[in-house]
Amino acid sequence: MINRLSMKTKTLFPSLLTLALLFLCIVSYGQFSNNNSGNVIGNNIKNDKSEDEGGDGPFSQGDKFVNLGLGFVGSEVGSSVGSGYSNSTGPSFEFNSEKAMTDHLGLGFATSYQGASATNTFTTQGYDSYTNTLVNYTTTDKYSISFIQFSVRGAYHFTAGNKFDPYAGVGLGYCEVIETLNETTNDPSVAGGSSTTGAPGFMFGAFGGTRYFFSDHVGAWFEFQFNRASFTVNGYSTSISSSNYLNLGLVFKWR
């Protein structure tokens, strides 16, 4: 099963990562220039306040965050179940939470779910002994595939003014691939029916992104991520790369 589910890392990922890093550099440089163009004494007073009271920026010690969103731009989960299959992969549903342990370091939890399907309809020919004729039979195989991830994440948040919160980090956790096969046919020699198989795995990954706050408590969130999962099934080990390199959504913040 896992051999059919093996997914290849697309060459799009390095390009997206490069764009993400370039964006973060531009944002950080712009905010740095704006912050240093004002009164030096006023900036020093503000910085002292940030150190003493946890800061007034988008990421300060004690802040709590919840990110909700969708994941896109990944390799298709159902693309390698077999030749001749018609594949359909939806976006992932992303949820992660984080607490600011310091003014720069955050720890949190993340989970995601993605579903996909792959369908193949084919025709076989059999001999009907009652009519002494050849008969065409139709069989449809449909795979429903789920990819679930749970991870603990740590991130470093860069200073970028009062609205932008750029960050980068790593994650470590558990994932599972679940595959259900439903077979329907009018061929009397084929049993048909359904079956479900699954395999748990160990996952690690890296991510980088930014938040932009519209207000003190609500903002937009996007993130580039790449995860690698390792599975062992029936004594055989394999690795897959998860999809959803680009995540978009809303972030909610409180103390």
Longest dimension (CA), the chain: 99
Instruction: Assess whether pLDDT exceeds 70 at residue 34.
Output: no
Mean pLDDT, rounded, for 201-230: 90
What whole-number distance in Å separates Cα of residue 101 and Cα of residue 255? Answer: 12
Alpha helices in the chain (DSSP H): 2-5, 12-35, 40-53
What is the pLDDT, as a whole number, of residue 111? Answer: 92
| CATH, domain 2-254, list 2.40.160.20, 1.10.600.10, 3.30.70.260, 3.40.50.300 | 2.40.160.20
Mean pLDDT, rounded, for 79-101: 75
What is the pLDDT, as a whole number, of residue 45? Answer: 39
> Taking the model in full, what pTM does it have?
0.67
For residue 74, give the DSSP letter: -
Express as a percent the part of the chain with pLDDT over 90: 31
What is the pLDDT, as a whole number, of residue 63? Answer: 95
Q: For residues 37, 41, 45 and 50, what is the CA-based torsion angle, rounded to 10 degrees?
A: 30
pLDDT, tens only, 51-77: 434 456 799 999 999 999 998 866 444
What is the pLDDT, as a whole number, of residue 44? Answer: 45
What is the pLDDT, as a whole number, of residue 236? Answer: 62
What whole-number distance in Å separates Cα of residue 180 and Cα of residue 178? Answer: 7
